[in-house]
Structures are given as C-alpha cells and as structure tokens.
C-alpha cells in the first residue's frame, strides 16, 4: 500500500479486488466453495473443477492400448477390472455408481484433452489457466464463466452466489459475488445492526463482507452431517439449479496422487461419482436439460513413478454427463502411448483443447456466438466443429 492513502484503514474496493483475483486457486481456506448464476435459458450447466490434477489414464483407462501395461505395470487394472466404454477404454471401478449411465448415453469421456497450459506443471498456475480460460501468454484476471455470464443476454450478474470461503476464480470478476456457507449465520438485534453498520462503513472490504453476511443470514442453512461434503455441495447445487440458477460451479479435490495411486484415487473418483449421482437425483426432470462438465488443470505422467503413483503431466480426461449428450462414449483423438507418441516422452499428448468442449457447451446451452467465445471467453481457442459431444 502506498503513501497516497489517506487513512491507514481505507482500502479501495478496486485494490481489494486486485488482491483477490488470481489467488483463489492456490488455497481455499474455508469450505469447498460453489458459484451460481442465473440466465434466461432453460438449460443447466454444471462445471466441476477437479483440483490437484486427475489422472485421466486411471479414470478412463485405455486398456486397449498395448503400451499401457508396459508404462504402468503396477497401476493398469486391465479390461476385466474395468467397466468397458467402447472396447478401447474402461471406467475405473470407483465410478461404478454412474457406470449404467454410459449405456443410456448420459456419460461421456473426452480424452487426451488439456488447457493451453504447458511444461511447468504447477498446480497453482495450471488451475489459474483452467479457471481464467486464458490461452498461451494471455493474462486474464477474471474467470471464464464470469465473462460468459456477462455476455449471456438477460443473465443477472447480481445473483451469482458462492458457497463457503473464497469465491471460485471461474466466476470471479466484474460480477458481484455473494457468498454463503452452511455454517455461518448472523442474527443481530436492530440496535446492534445500527452499531455495526457504522463500525464497518469506512472500510470497504469489511463493509461488503458484513452487508452480505446480513443479507444472507436469511438463507436457510443446510442440515445434516454432510453439509460441507461433496454430497451436500452437489445437493445444494442441484437445489439452486432446480430453482432459478442456471449455472453452477464447484470443485472436488484430492487428485494429486503422487503415491500409492491404486488406493488414493478411489476416494476422489467416488466423490465425483457421488456428486454426479446427487445432481441427477436432485435435478429430476431437469436432468435432460443439464450438462455437467468435470475438468482438471492437467493430467499425470503416462508412466507410474517409483512409489506406485504418478507425477504432474499434460493431457488428461474430462467427464461429460447429463441428458444433452450425443451418446458417443469416448470423444477426441487418441494420441497413443508409444514412447514417441508421448508429450516430452513422459505425458499423454494433448490432441484437443478442453476449452473447445466448454466453449461449445456455452454456445449450445446459452446462445453465445462463436466470435464471442473465441474472442472474449477463451481467447486463442478455435472453436471449429462441435466435437460430437451434444445430441
């Protein structure tokens, strides 16, 4: 803070927002947050961020690729242990709660996808690129979903709500984001209100947080033990989407499986399956107008490492679910796993920009134009033909 400041406690809203942007990916201190937005469309979009780099080669194992057993002698499960997708790929058994969706065309995998982030393999930078939607060299400070909401005709920016602590960068930006957590409630006597109004009036950061806390004090808190868990989060998102919200975003962590991956990946995969199941249950009839996209900052090394885990890689997989899918089970072009096929001789090579899927989703669900998406939402992406994801 520089010397132009008048009072030591006066910080402009602008400075505060500048401090916010770009930091939320690193460490979200409170509960897993979620964000919502209203639009006039009847369609629903759920974006699930898989923080920590999901191993796409385990989640949707390319058991038909003969190289896999050589690269992953300890980790590859083999066709018999998997739930087959198309004779080449199989779902990890921890995803069994949603395995029946494949047959009905409600679950697809986009494989060998990545963001434009390359080579440094840092979670924090990778998640920033994933959330801001930037291309190479683009330094965007607000979330791509936020920019999309701002361009959807009739979308109401003031209605974005985030659950928990820090708002997701994916919806962070020009829109006012109010936050809500299952636990915090604020009940104040009228005279106490009047005192606190004055106490915070001169400090924009505290004033904004206080006013939103008071406004949200009326929201009914979630009940039950799992209020803060993935089940609670997905259930809450489903409830919001069944009412007026049309876009929801939240994240599931625990994917950074450097060690003993055979055991450690089961929990996050199970949580992903649970989140999708709860969403579908809660959404009921609206499910057929819903698209769920689960994306991660990057994939993991093609070879297992020395301790039964995998390290940070490049291309991974994205999950697509909902009632709007084409029914094609595995999307994208498979690059192969021969040494020469791998990116830098270590990672699954990306053959598709994951932003093409999210971009086409925004186009189909909310009517954004190709030009808007290529220029404003995902600078640097070439949208091209629909990748076969939607019906």
Partner 1 sequence: MDVAFKTRAAIRFGFGLRPGEAAASDGDAVLAQLGRAGETPPSSVGGPDMGERARLISDLRDLRKSGASPDKLRAARYKIRDLLRDDIHRLIKHTVESPNGFGERWMMFWANHFSVSARNLALRAVVGRYAPDAIRPYMAYRFGLLLTAAATHPAMLLYLDQAQSMGPNSRAGVRRGRGLNENFARELLELHTVGAKGGYTQKDVRQLAELLTGLGIDRRRGTFRFFPNRAEPGAERVLGAEYGGEWRASFADIAAFFEDVAVRPETASHLAGKITAHFTSDQPDAKLVEHLASRWRATRGDLRAVAAALIEHPAAHASFGAKAKTPFDFIVSTLRAADAPPAATETPAKGMNRFSARPLRALGQSPYRAPSPAGWSEKAGDWITPPGLAGRLRYASLVARKLTKNVDPRRFLQGALADAARPKTKFLVTGAAERWEGVALTLASPEFNRR
26 or 391: whose CB is closer to partner 1? Answer: 26
Provide the pairing of β-strand 290-296 with 44-50: parallel
Alpha-carbon span 84 to 105, nearest angstrom: 14
Write down the least CB distance from residue 338 to partner 1, Å.
Answer: 20
Residue 266 C-beta: closest distance to partner 1, Å: 15
Which of 26, 138 has the CB closer to partner 1?
26
At closest approach, how far in Å is the CB of 162 from partner 1?
A: 9
Whichever of 344 and 369 has its CB closer to partner 1, that residue is 344
The C-alpha atoms of residue 243 and residue 113 are separated, in whole angstroms, by: 33
Tell me how far the alpha carbon of residue 191 is from its chain's centroid.
42
- Can you give the three-state secondary structure of 26-50, one letter per residue? CCCCCCCCEEEEECCCCCEEEEEEE
375: DSSP letter: I
Taking a C-beta distance cutoff of 8 angstroms, is the pair 353, 116 a contact? yes
Of 200 and 334, nearer to partner 1 (C-beta) is: 200
Least distance CB 102 / partner 1 (angstroms): 33
Q: Which is nearer to partner 1, 319 or 343 (CB)?
A: 343
CB of 163 to partner 1, least distance (A): 9
Asked if 145 contacts 167 with a C-beta cutoff of 8 angstroms, the reply is no
Closest distance of CB 36 from partner 1, Å: 15
Name 359's bridge partners. none
CB of 51 to partner 1, least distance (A): 9
In whole angstroms, the minimum distance from the beta carbon of 62 to partner 1 comes to 22
Q: What is the DSSP string of 303-356?
A: S--TTS---B-S-EEEEEEETTB---SEES-----SGGGSBTTTBPPP-EEHHH
User: Token pair of 232, please?
Assistant: 């609670």
- Least distance to partner 1, CB of residue 216, Å: 6
108/127 with CB nearer partner 1: 127
Would you say 89 or 210 has its CB closer to partner 1?
Answer: 210
Strand, helix or coil for residue 87: coil
- In 3D space, the residue among 70, 76, 34 whose CA is nearest the CA of residue 55 turns out to be 76
The DSSP secondary structure of 175-236, one letter per residue, reads S--EEE-SS------HHHHHHHHHHHTT-HHHHHHHHHHHHHTTSPPP-SGGGGSHHHHHHH
Nearer to partner 1, 13 or 288 (CB): 13
Give least dist CB 64 to partner 1, A.
Answer: 26
Q: Are 173 and 142 contacting, i.e. CB atoms less than 8 angstroms apart?
A: yes
SS3 at position 111: strand
Classify residue 91 by its DSSP letter: E
Nearer to partner 1, 118 or 151 (CB): 118
Helix (H, G, I), strand (E, B) or coil at 64: coil
Residue that the structure tokens 């009739």 belong to: 154
**Residues at the site binding partner 1, with contacts judged by CB under 8 A:** 1-3, 5, 7-9, 11, 15-20, 23-24, 26-31, 119-125, 164-166, 178-181, 183-186, 191-192, 195-196, 198-203, 205-206, 209-210, 212-213, 216-217, 256, 258-259, 305-307, 309, 311-312, 344
For partner 1, the closer of residues 116 and 164 by Cβ is 164
């Amino acid at each position: 803070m520089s010397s132009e400041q008048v009072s030591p406690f006066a910080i402009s809203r602008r400075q505060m927002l500048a401090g916010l942007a770009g930091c939320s990916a690193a460490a979200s201190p409170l509960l897993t947050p979620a964000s919502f937005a209203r639009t006039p469309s009847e369609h629903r979009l759920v974006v699930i961020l898989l923080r920590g780099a999901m191993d796409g080669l385990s989640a949707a194992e390319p058991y038909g690729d003969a190289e896999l057993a050589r690269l992953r002698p300890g980790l590859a499960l083999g066709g018999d242990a998997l739930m087959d997708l198309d004779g080449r790929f199989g779902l990890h058994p921890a995803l069994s709660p949603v395995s029946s969706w494949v047959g009905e065309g409600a679950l697809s995998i986009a494989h060998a996808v990545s963001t434009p982030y390359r080579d440094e393999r840092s979670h924090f930078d990778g998640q920033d690129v994933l959330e801001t939607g930037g291309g190479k060299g683009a330094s965007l400070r607000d979330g791509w979903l936020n920019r999309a909401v701002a361009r959807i005709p009739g979308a109401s920016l003031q209605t974005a709500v985030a659950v928990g602590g820090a708002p997701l960068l994916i919806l962070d930006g020009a829109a006012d984001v109010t936050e809500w957590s299952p636990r915090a409630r604020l009940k104040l006597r009228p005279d106490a209100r009047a005192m606190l109004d004055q106490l915070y009036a001169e400090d924009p950061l505290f004033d904004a947080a206080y006013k939103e806390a008071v406004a949200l004090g009326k929201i009914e808190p979630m009940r039950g033990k799992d209020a803060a868990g993935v089940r609670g989060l997905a259930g809450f998102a489903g409830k919001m989407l069944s009412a007026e919200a049309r876009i929801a975003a939240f994240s599931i962590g625990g994917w950074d499986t450097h060690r003993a991956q055979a055991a450690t990946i089961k929990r996050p995969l199970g949580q992903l399956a649970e989140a999708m199941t709860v969403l579908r249950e809660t959404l009921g009839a609206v499910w057929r107008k819903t698209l769920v996209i689960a994306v991660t900052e990057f994939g993991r090394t093609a070879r297992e490492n020395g301790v039964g885990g995998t390290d940070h890689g490049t291309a991974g997989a994205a999950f697509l679910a909902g009632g709007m899918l084409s029914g094609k089970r595995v999307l994208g072009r498979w690059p192969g796993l021969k040494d020469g096929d791998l990116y830098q001789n270590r990672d699954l090579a990306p053959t598709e920009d994951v932003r093409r899927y999210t971009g086409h989703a925004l186009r189909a669900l909310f009517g954004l134009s190709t030009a808007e998406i290529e220029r404003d939402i995902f600078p640097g992406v070439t949208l091209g033909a629909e990748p076969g994801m939607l019906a």
